[in-house]
Structure 1
Amino acid sequence: MKYLKYTSYLFLFLAIVLLVDAIMRLDHPDGGATLSFMFAAVCVFMFFFRRNMAKRFENRSKGQQ
């Protein structure tokens, strides 16, 4: 289950991509920047959530051994 440590960084990468996309869409009249900002915020939240859960999982598995 070592991949759980690395999946949180995928959320961080996705948040950066969505922020760049939202900044590029700010000038367009069609909009869509708000949705990209919201998804980026969710990705940042998921980054910290998954990192915290991975640490908890690691500490729990160390305590059982």
Structure 2
Amino acid sequence: MAPTFAPRLTETQAAEFLNLSKKTLQAWRQSGEGPPYLKLGRAVRYEADAIRDWVKERERHSTSDRGRAA
């Protein structure tokens, strides 16, 4: 049985999914702040599940919530 992979998004698709600009994602990749990504040759891809997990980790219920912010 062949392995199955989660859907991979292009940089444009990931930016749209997160309602961000591509420039923001690019800056986050350089600083290590953004969601995990894959480099496949020169192409950058984001796994949809990894983006969802990354967003969920940043969920806050109050301004006084502590923890790692984006």
* TM-score normalized by the length of structure 1: 0.31
Larger RCO (CA under 8 A, 6+ residues apart): 1
Larger helix share, 1 or 2? 1
Flag the structure with larger Rg. 1
Larger strand share, 1 or 2? 2
* TM-score normalized by the length of structure 2: 0.30
